[in-house]
Each structure stands twice: as structure tokens, then as C-alpha cells.
Amino acid sequence: MLKITHNAGFFSCCNMRLHKIIDYFNDNKKLPTIVDSSAQFLLYKPRHMLYNDITNDFFIDDSVTNITYEKKITITHDKREDQFSNYKLLHIQDIKPFIKKYFIPSQEIVEIKNVLIQKYNIQCDNCIAVYYRGTDKYKETKLGDFSKYHEIIEKIKQNNVRCDYTLLIQSDCTTFLNYMKQKYDKLVIIKENKSSPLNEGIHLNKENIGSQNYNDMKILFATFLIICKCRHFVCSSSNCSLWMMYYRGNTENIYQYLINDFI
């Protein structure tokens, strides 16, 4: 059995879970019989679920898929922390089997995604999706001026003048959303997701910890599943962006803000 105890943001927990599973696989040349995450995701647990493993509320428990050891798995060529690495250097094909076995979205998450797609009439093939992780993320990395995101959107549009793309914006930062509203008359913002004008993580707000975070994350996760399949994906560097890369399954049409500029 593999027991994981790391706690932080939701996708930070997912990332550590993935790392520990791959470490176990590399060390033992087989998968663990049980992955116990009952001590994880504490910020997202309703009080009556504090000692439960809630991963099955978000991901399918796939006991059928098996992964046979053929080589040591590494996640990226980059030496930096995953979320702040160059996403084009991720070993996505090597990681895919682990995502498929341990992190396929649950039926509830998929149903929420489908409801959102229908409600907002989202056609992923015709979308430029922009994800900006703000609030407290400035403590970990350079976020970049809002104008940088506007510039890269315009660059994409100029390089695809025959395409009338819909703009889908997702951010936890209210000021970023307001900036984009001023720049564009037509854009999609999924209003079920929360944003804040403060430099504090929404998931760390005492009023949100527990049941509120648990419900909010289901909507945000479903939103990320929509974003990751959009034609073009513009993102800041964060665990959320990293996991959208995993669910996207490739690095095509990716525009990542890393350190000082888009790459």
C-alpha cells in the first residue's frame, strides 16, 4: 500500500499523488496495490468526510487498467519544479497511462462539464482559452502584466485571421477578469466559478474550507476539462495549468507565461 499525506491546493495534491505513484513504480517495477489518499485534500473535505479518501468523488477508481514496467518514468526534461517548468518539455506520452489509471474524471465531473458546455454554448475547436492564476500565486512566481495576455491573444488572432474564435477566460483574479471585459465585448466567463480582488487564495478562505471548496472544485475541475480541449490555450504557470496540460494530452497551440514572458 502507498499512503500519501501531502496537503495544499487541489492540483498540488494531485501532483504529489502522481509523483509518489511514479516513484513507487520506478522503485518496485510495479504499481502499488492500494493508493491511500485519505490524509490528502484536507482543504476540500466536508467535516463528515475528514477521514475519507475523497479521490473517488473526483476521479474514477480504475482497477482494470494495468501498467507494465518497461523503463524508468520521468515527468519532464526540465530541472525546475513541474508547475514552473517549460510544459513543452513534459513527457506527456509517458505520463498518460498513469493519468488514465488514477485520474480519469468521475461521471459527476463529466456531467458538470457537459452542462457548462451546453449552457455557455462552448465549441472547444473554435475557442481561445485563457487561464490566469492570480490571487496569492505571486508569492511563488512572476505572473506577468495583464497586457501580456492581451498581446498574446491578439497575436493568435492575427495569425488566424480566417478564424472567428470565441474567447474563454478563467481566473481566480477579479481584476484580471475585469481587464479582459474592458478589452473584449464578446467573451465567455463561466460565472459558477469564484474570483477574488484580494491577494489571498480563494481555497484558503476559512468560509470556503470544507464543503464549499468540495463543491467549488467540482465546477472548477469541469471547467478545466473544457479549457484544456480548446484550440488554443494561453496560461500562467501553476499546478492548475500543469494538470490542464496532462488532460490536454499534447503541447500543440500552447502559450505559457514562464518567468518573464510567453514561451
Please check whether residue 124 lies inside any domain of the structure: yes
In this predicted model, what pLDDT tens digit does every residue of 193-251 receive, in sequence order? Answer: 999 999 999 998 888 899 999 999 999 999 999 999 999 999 999 999 999 999 999 99
| Structural domain of 83 | 2-102
What pLDDT is recorded for position 72? 96
164 and 237 co-located in one domain: yes
Cell of 257: 507565461
Query: pLDDT-derived band of residue 140, with 50, 70 and 90 as boundaries?
Result: very high
The structural domain count of the chain equals 2
Please check whether residue 132 lies inside any domain of the structure: yes
153 and 49 co-located in one domain: no
What pLDDT is recorded for position 62? 84
155 and 194 co-located in one domain: yes
Query: pLDDT-derived band of residue 166, with 50, 70 and 90 as boundaries?
Result: very high
Q: How many CB atoms within 10 Å of residue 168?
A: 23
Using DSSP bridges, classify how beta strands 166-171 and 35-36 pair: parallel, antiparallel or unpaired: unpaired
Residue 65 has pLDDT above 90, yes or no: no
Q: Which amino acid is at 144?
A: G
Helix (H) or strand (E) holding 131: strand 127-132
Please check whether residue 109 lies inside any domain of the structure: no
Backbone angles phi, psi at 75, to 5 degrees: -85, -35
125 and 62 co-located in one domain: no
The pTM of this model reads 0.96
Helix (H) and strand (E) counts for the chain?
8, 8
Where among 47, 76, 102 does a domain terminate? 102
* Contact call for residues 241 and 12 (beta carbons, < 8 A): no
126 and 179 co-located in one domain: yes
Average pLDDT over residues 104-130: 98
